[in-house]
Amino acid sequence: MRDIDFLIIGSGIAGLSAAIKLAKSGRVTILTKKTATDTATIYAQGGVACVVSDNDTFDLHELDTIRAGDGLSHEDVVNHVVTSGPERIHELQKFGIEFSTYMGDPNHLDLGREGGHSRRRVLHIQDITGQGLEKTLYDRAISEPNITILEYHIAVDLIRESKIDGKDINDPGHERILGAYVLDVKNNIIITFLSPVVILATGGAGKVYLYTSNPDIASGDGIALAYRAGARVANLEFVQFHPTCLYHPLAKNFLISEALRGEGAMLLDKRGNRFMEKYSQMKEMANRDIVSRAIDMELKKSGDDCVFLDITHKSPDFVITRFPQIHQTCLKFGIDITKELIPVVPAAHYMCGGVVTNIWGETDIKGLFALGETACTGLHGANRLPSNSLLEGVVFPHQTFLRLSDKEYLADILKNFDKVSQKVRVWDKGIAVDLQEAVIVSHNWDIIRRLMWNYVGIVRSNKRLELALQRIKPILEEIDSHYWEYILTSDFTELRNLALVAKLIIQSALLRKESRGCHFNQDYPAKDDWNWRRDTVLSKFN
Ligand code: SIN
C-alpha cells in the first residue's frame, strides 16, 4: 500500500500542470502507463488558442467557441476559460515555453489560424507545440522534490468508500474516493494507492476507432474508471474527426495540422477540383465537423481512397520553416509537400465529451477530479474549436489547484480519511490464472475498432447504431468473465476500458435523436433545439 496526498493518473499537459501546482501543498504521485512523455499532448501540432492580439477580443473567441459547440457549450465555462487564457499563457512563458514569433520579433507572437476561428489566435511552437509544452512541463515536474512519477503503472479501478463496506450506494453525491488499485506493469503486481484526492487526466479514447490521429495509449481509461466508480459521463457521442490525417500505408496516426489550411492550403479531389465551396462559405476554414463530413461524402460519391491537401502555392521557405515536422515526416514517405499534393483522410481525433465536472474540475464523487480531454467541462459542447483543448488543459488544473487550496474544502475531503482508508483491502487475485493467449485481447480490440469505424463513424444511422450496441454487449460480457478468470495485464486493462467507452459512445449516439456538431445521424439529419439542446448524460445508476 502507498499513502500520498494527491494521486494523478496521466502525464500529459493537464496532469503535469496540476502536479506542478499541487506540489506546493503536498506529496504528488503521477502514474503513467508507458513512459512519462508518451502522451497525446506530444502529438498536438496546432497550438493554444488565446486572445493576445490587438485585433482580437474575448467576445470574439467566446463567440467562435460557442458557434463551434453548436448550442451545447456552457457559456459561463466558455467565458471563464477564454478570459483566463492570457494569465495561463503568461505562466507557461514563465516556465520557459517559447512560442514562435513573427519574423523573429520577440515582442510579436506568430498567431496561427484554424477552422472556426474568426481571428488568428493560435499560439504555437512551429508545428510541434505539444512536444514543446510536454518537455518544459515534464522538466519542471521532475525538478520538484514533492513529485514522484511512476512509469508503466496503469490504474485498474478506483477505490471508493461505499465499496469497502460491501455496499454500492446509488448516490454518487455521497460517495468518496479513497485511492486506486494500480497495476505495476513491470513487476506484475497490483498496488493499492490510498489518496484522498485522485485526478483523472488520461486523455481521450481515439483508439476506440480503427483510424485515429491518437497514440496507442488513448483507450479512454479515465472515462471508464470514473463511470465504473459511479460518476456521470456526458456527450460521448460527440467524437471529433480530424479532416486531414496522412493517407499512406506506412503512416500510423500522422496528422496534417489544420494550420496548413489556416495558411491557405486547399482541399482537392483526385481530379484536382476544389470541393469545399459546395459545403460551406467558409470553404476549408469551416468547422471541423463540416469539413470531415464533406470529405466523407466526396469519398463515398467518388469511390476514391483519399482527397488531397495542396499548399504548393506557398514559398518552400515558408512551408519548411512553419511546418518542419510535417515537411520532414511527409518527405520520409516520399512526399515533398512544397511541390506535391498531400493525400489525406479524416480520422477520429478528439473526445468532446467525458467525465462530468464543474468549473473546479470536480466530478460527482468527493475527492475525484477529471481534467483535460478526460473531462466534460462544458467548454466544447457538440464540437471543439481547434486548439481550445490545450488552453482547457492549463486552465482547469489551475482551477483544481485553487479548489484544493481552500482550507475548509480540503479539511472536508480529509475528514476521517485515515480511519476510513485503513479498512481498504489489498488486491486479492483469488483463483485467477495467467492469461496465456494474448490473442483474446488483440482479437476483441480489433473487432471493437472496426465496429466503431463502420457503424458509429462520421455519418451514423439508427440501424447501424442498434447493430453496434447488439454486437458490443457480448464482447463486454466476455471481457467481464476474463476479468475474474485471468491475472490482469496492461493490454487487458486497456481493452476492458476501451470496450466500455465504445458502449457508452454507442448508447449516447442512440439517445440523441437529432444531428448536431460532431454527431450526424442520417435518420434525424436536422438539429432539434426544442428537445435536444441539452447534454447527453449517462451514469451506471440510470
Ligand atoms: C491540428 O493541428 O490540426 C490539431 C489542432 C487541434 O486539434 O486542436
Q: What is the pLDDT of residues 252-279, one digit of tens each?
A: 889 999 999 999 999 999 999 999 999 9
Q: Which of 418, 472, 413 is nearest to 445 (CA)?
A: 472
pLDDT of residue 170: 65
Give the confidence band of 103 by pLDDT, cuts at 50, 70, 90. Answer: confident
Q: What's the DSSP call for residue 283?
A: G
Query: pLDDT by residue (tens digit) across 356-388?
Result: 999 999 999 999 999 999 999 999 999 999 999
Coil, helix or strand at residue 3: strand
Q: Where in the chain is the domain with CATH 1.20.58.100?
A: 439-538
Domain 439-538 fold is Methane Monooxygenase Hydroxylase; Chain G, domain 1 (1.20.58)
Coil, helix or strand at residue 88: helix
Query: pLDDT by residue (tens digit) across 29-45?
Result: 999 999 999 999 999 99
pLDDT of residue 456: 98
The Cα 367–Cα 387 span in angstroms is 29
Taking a C-beta distance cutoff of 8 angstroms, is the pair 486, 492 a contact?
yes
The Cα 215–Cα 205 span in angstroms is 10
pLDDT higher than threshold 70 for residue 190: yes
> Residue 407: enclosing H or E segment and its boundaries?
helix 407-414
- Which set of grid coordinates corresponds to residue 23? 506540489
Instruction: Write down the pTM of the prediction.
Output: 0.96
CA dist list (Å): 364 to 226, 254, 368 = 9, 36, 8
350 alpha carbon – ligand 1 mean position (Å): 9
The Cα 127–Cα 376 span in angstroms is 27
Query: pLDDT by residue (tens digit) across 47-97?
Result: 999 999 999 999 999 999 999 999 999 999 999 999 999 999 999 999 999
Taking a C-beta distance cutoff of 8 angstroms, is the pair 225, 348 a contact?
no
Q: What is the DSSP string of 361-377?
A: SB-SSBTEEE-GGGEE-
Q: Is residue 386 in contact with ligand 1, taking CB distance under 6 Å?
A: yes
Query: pLDDT by residue (tens digit) across 389-437?
Result: 999 999 999 999 999 999 999 999 999 999 999 999 888 877 777 777 7
114 alpha carbon – ligand 1 mean position (Å): 8
Taking a C-beta distance cutoff of 8 angstroms, is the pair 89, 48 a contact?
yes
Q: Where in the chain is the domain with CATH 3.50.50.60?
A: 2-46+128-237+352-418
From atom 4 of ligand 1, which residue's Cα is the shortest distance away? 46
The Cα 133–Cα 415 span in angstroms is 36
CA dist list (Å): 171 to 179, 224, 231, 410, 459 = 19, 18, 9, 21, 36
Non-local (6+) Cβ contacts of 411 within 8 A are: none
Task: Please give the single-letter amino acid code of residue 535.
Answer: D
The residue with cell 480540503 is 410
From atom 5 of ligand 1, which residue's Cα is the shortest distance away? 46
Taking a C-beta distance cutoff of 8 angstroms, is the pair 422, 388 a contact?
no
Which residue in 113, 121, 288, 403 is the catalytic one?
A: 288
- Please give the number of the atom of ligand 1 that sits closest to the Cα of 388: 8
Q: At what angle do helices 75-95 and 388-404 cross, to 10 degrees?
A: 90
Q: Is residue 46 in contact with ligand 1, taking CB distance under 6 Å?
A: yes
Q: Is residue 389 in contact with ligand 1, taking CB distance under 6 Å?
A: yes
- From the number of C-beta atoms within 10 Å of its C-beta (0-12, 13-18, 19+), residue 150 rates as middle
The residue with cell 488565446 is 50
What φ, ψ does residue 433 adopt, rounded to 5°?
A: -120, 170
- CATH assignment, 243-347: 3.90.700.10
Percentage of the residues of the chain whose pLDDT score is greater than 70 = 98
CA dist list (Å): 56 to 40, 49, 64, 481 = 29, 12, 12, 55
361 alpha carbon – ligand 1 mean position (Å): 23
Strand pairing partners for 65?
none
Non-local (6+) Cβ contacts of 115 within 8 A are: 258, 261, 262, 282, 284, 285, 286, 287, 288, 291, 386
**Residue 288 appears among annotated catalytic residues:** yes
pLDDT of residue 167: 66
**2-46+128-237+352-418 CATH choice from 3.40.50.2300, 3.40.50.970, 3.40.50.2000, 3.50.50.60:** 3.50.50.60
What φ, ψ does residue 451 adopt, rounded to 5°?
A: -55, -45
Task: Please give the single-letter amino acid code of residue 496.
Answer: R
The Cα 325–Cα 327 span in angstroms is 5
- Please give the number of the atom of ligand 1 that sits closest to the Cα of 350: 7
Ligand 1 pocket test, candidate residues 41, 65, 127, 257, most atoms within 8 A of CB: 257
Non-local (6+) Cβ contacts of 24 within 8 A are: 146
Q: Which residue has the higher pLDDT, 176 or 165?
A: 176
Task: Please give the single-letter amino acid code of residue 310.
Answer: D
291 alpha carbon – ligand 1 mean position (Å): 13
448 alpha carbon – ligand 1 mean position (Å): 25
The Cα 420–Cα 165 span in angstroms is 10
Taking a C-beta distance cutoff of 8 angstroms, is the pair 174, 161 a contact?
no
Taking a C-beta distance cutoff of 8 angstroms, is the pair 130, 45 a contact?
yes
- Please give the number of the atom of ligand 1 that sits closest to the Cα of 46: 2
pLDDT of residue 380: 98
> Residue 403: enclosing H or E segment and its boundaries?
helix 388-404
Q: Which of 384, 313, 331, 327 is nearest to 354 (CA)?
A: 384
Ligand 1 pocket test, candidate residues 242, 352, 392, most atoms within 8 A of CB: 242
The Cα 333–Cα 524 span in angstroms is 41
Ligand 1 pocket test, candidate residues 127, 240, 255, most atoms within 8 A of CB: 255
Taken in order 273, 277, 278, 284, the sign of the CA dihedral is positive
257 alpha carbon – ligand 1 mean position (Å): 6
The Cα 65–Cα 78 span in angstroms is 7
Alpha helices in 415-461 (DSSP H): 417-421, 439-455
Strand pairing partners for 537?
234
Q: Is residue 116 in contact with ligand 1, taking CB distance under 6 Å?
A: no
Q: Which of 113, 540, 472 is nearest to 285 (CA)?
A: 113
Query: pLDDT by residue (tens digit) across 470-484?
Result: 999 999 999 998 888
Per-chain mean pLDDT for the chain? 95
- Which set of grid coordinates corresponds to residue 400? 483544481
Q: Which of 272, 339, 282, 344 is nearest to 114 (CA)?
A: 282
256 alpha carbon – ligand 1 mean position (Å): 9
Ligand 1 pocket test, candidate residues 258, 342, 392, most atoms within 8 A of CB: 258
